[in-house]
Structure 1
Amino acid sequence: MGSIAANPVVADIDITNGATNWLWVVFAIMLSSCVGVGALSFTQNPGRRAFHYISMAILATASIAYFCLASDLGATPIQVEYLRGYPAATATRSIWYVRYIDWVITTPLLLLELLLVSGLPLSAVFACVFADEVMIVTGLIGALVASSYKWGLFAFGCAAMLVVFYILYVPGLLSAKHLGGDYYKSYFQGALVLSILWTLYPICWGLAEGGNVISPNGELIFYSILDIFAKPVFAMVHLFGLRRIDYERLQLSSGKYSEFAQVPGSLEKGTTAHDSHLRAGTLKEAEANAAHGHTGTAQPAPAVRPSNDGTVA
């Protein structure tokens, strides 16, 4: 029994079993990629898995979303503005809101995975992520609007996307240059790939949810191909590129000081970040005592003598 037989379509203009079969393939790609990145993370020190975990969160979210899409779940019927030959004056088209739920989680994580390599301050990262959320939410609201007012929301979303691109290419590139050539190369490649792919999403929106030019089958295939390149392919390429750069310069070792965070270049085998931190603190304390004239030599405690009445003097 196919997905549509179990979960019937909800609109006049909707997908077919052929589309759901393709979506099951995409679901398998997302899930297997998530497992693959998780396995790859075990090749890294536990304190250096931040990018792997971000990629896993992206791919896990996309896996759930594509499970819903392949099952023909997470859609609602919306009256189309342009009939495009459909006889019914009130023809409806399926709008998959589950896709936007996926994007509202995964696109900020994609930006975070990229911007952490740029060295941008948190204020710029916040501004970029906020603009991205505006882009996704306005796209969702516009898709759910039946009238031509949807194009106003589409314009807001495109403006927000331009803000994202500005931060990626102006302060982002400048900051990455200051970190060094290896960081700049990795960041620029990621920003270029992501921006090219993201430019195609509003084109698909205009042809699908907006203008009803392409069928729902074509819409889902278009979006899913973009998602494959923007998520599992991008994650693998980005993680591979990060293996060639000095992770320590990013200061992103996750977690607290523990025996898991080995100090690179330590002269003593088994030295941990916690040990080095304590030693550094002891050294600073000794230097401070020396500056105040303290030798740091422990003085013997005064002898304790019992008094004649039995009390301790």
Structure 2
Amino acid sequence: MVQTWLWIGVTGMAVGAVFFGFGAHNARTERWKILYTLNFFICIIASVLYLSMALGQGFNVIHGRPTFWVRYVTWFLSTPLLLLDLIFLGRTSLPTAGSLLGANALMIATGLVAALSPDPINYIWYLVSCGAFVAVFYLLVSPYRLEAEQQHPRSKKAFRKLLTVHLVLWTGYPIVWLLAASGFDVLTQGLETMSYTLLDLVAKVGFGILSLNTLGQLERAGEVEKVLQTEVSAR
């Protein structure tokens, strides 16, 4: 079951990468090209690192727990690009963008330390990682959302939907971590792999498609044209 789900991850991410790659190649404007390109690299990074797991690499038994530590490499490389999707769409200020990327890096790094630590120290690092996630959560629902809605006042519902999906999906990761061998060991390794794979596919391929849909809504609302005109006038 573990291998099956890992190969599903390889294939699903590869299909997503092909879709976004063709989209970037055929993009009609620079904004669409940027968004397609970001999503392409999110998926290709995940596909390649899922391939390493499917081939039996990036896996060790650490402190008696089976650990795919390469997952954290995948997340450390791909999650900043996911946040850049949001930052690009919301036209986020540099302080907010930097804070999001910094808190995200802290969340993934301390999550890896938690996975590599023995009981009960792993729970201490898990709480530190969850604290960083709370910071990401706050930054998205407060300063990020307010800035995005200020930049795109006619597309508030689109951003709220985008944020809701993003935060619900990301909340699933610490829950799986706690229930898997890294935490309370309630889930079998097969169920753990299935859970992470499904979350990754929806959070990367699915969210990428949703981000494209959001850009389409911004264009239909005239938000993109308004912003471009403002920039031209400022020059």
The equivalent residue for 2:10 is 27
Picking from 95, 111, 126, the partner of 2:83 is: 111
The equivalent residue for 2:92 is 120
Q: Which of the pair has more CA radius of gyration?
A: 1
How big is the shift at 1:190?
1.4
Q: Residue type matched to 2:101 in 1? A: V
Pair 1:44 & 2:27 matched: yes
Aligned sequence identity (%): 30
- Taking the aligned partners of 1:205 and 1:70, their CA distance within structure 2 comes to 20
The equivalent residue for 1:55 is 39
Picking from 81, 106, 111, the partner of 1:134 is: 106
User: RMSD in angstroms over aligned alpha carbons?
Assistant: 2.0
Q: Which runs of 5+ in 2 are unaligned?
A: none
4+ residue stretches of structure 1 with deviation over 6 A? none
Q: TM-score, normalised by structure 1?
A: 0.68
Q: Residue type matched to 1:191 in 2? A: L
Q: Are residues 95 and 163 of structure 1, via their aligned partners in 2, closer, same or farther at CA, if it must alter by over 3 Å? A: same
CA contact (8 A) 1:186 1:242 kept: no
How big is the shift at 1:248?
4.6
1:77-115 Cα shifts (integer Å, max 9, x gaps)? 112xxxxxxxxxxxx222111100000011111111112
CA contact (8 A) 1:119 1:250 kept: no
- Taking the aligned partners of 1:250 and 1:55, their CA distance within structure 2 comes to 23
The equivalent residue for 1:213 is 186
- Taking the aligned partners of 1:33 and 1:143, their CA distance within structure 2 comes to 28
How big is the shift at 1:119?
2.5
Aligned residues: 226
The equivalent residue for 2:213 is 240
Q: Are residues 196 and 250 of structure 1, via their aligned partners in 2, closer, same or farther at CA, if it must alter by over 3 Å? A: farther
Superposition pairs for residues 1-313 of structure 1, below 5 Å? 18-45=1-28, 47-48=30-31, 49-79=33-63, 92-208=64-180, 209-246=182-219, 247-248=224-225
Q: Which runs of 5+ in 1 are unaligned?
A: 1-17, 80-91, 252-263, 265-276, 285-313
Report the secondary structure of 1:116's partner residue: helix
- Taking the aligned partners of 2:214 and 2:99, their CA distance within structure 1 comes to 26
